Amino acid sequence: MKFKNIFVAFLVILLGWMLLTWSLELQSILLGVGISAVLSLLLCGSCTLFNEINLTPKAFAYSFWYLIVFLIELVKANIDVTRRVLSPSMPINPGIVKVETTLKSKMARLILANSITLTPGTFTIEINDDALYVHWIDVESDDVEGATKAIVSKFEKLLEVMYG
């Protein structure tokens, strides 16, 4: 468990190093491996950040699929915002609704909240146990089930596979 944390942190730091130096010479890569090992041991020796992540091929495939779904939603969000802002009458109907999630892992909840923030018209305000309070710019249904179905369910299916 502890080894997995350190290993994932090592991969993340090494990726950052490779992007910043942008060279494939042996010297620079060896230096990066050394620095990433020291940093991940120092920073993540006792952290529990990546405890629940699944390191199976299926989880990786789902991560890529999640990224694609997320980018499409981001573009849709932007078209939606542009339409609302530039139309003269400003068709908004804001409100704060409550949705529920079945995810248990902290990291998965963080990713879910960030994704809700960047998808069309919704914005996470507060998290309490299983309930997320979401500011919705155009409220379609104000009961818990309808809002959950409209906002959360499309991400939840994918995140359940990634974080078990």
**Binding positions for another protein, rule: CB under 8 A:** 16, 18-23, 74-75, 77-78, 81-82, 84-86, 90, 92-98, 113-114, 117-118, 121, 123-126, 128, 131, 133, 135, 137, 139, 142
Least gap, CB of 142 to another protein (angstroms): 4
Closest CA to 97 of 156, 155, 137, 154: 137
Nearer CB in complex with another protein: 41/74: 74
* Rg, Å, the chain Cα set: 20
Closest CA to 81 of 122, 134, 112, 116: 122
Closest CA to 53 of 160, 132, 156, 127: 160
Nearer CB in complex with another protein: 57/129: 129
Tell me the pairing of strands 131-136 and 95-100. antiparallel
Nearer CB in complex with another protein: 2/143: 143
The Cα 146–Cα 14 span in angstroms is 43
Least gap, CB of 147 to another protein (angstroms): 9
Least gap, CB of 83 to another protein (angstroms): 10
Least gap, CB of 45 to another protein (angstroms): 23
Nearer CB in complex with another protein: 21/56: 21
Least gap, CB of 27 to another protein (angstroms): 16
Nearer CB in complex with another protein: 41/125: 125
Q: Residue 99 belongs to what H/E stretch?
A: strand 95-100
The Cα 150–Cα 146 span in angstroms is 6
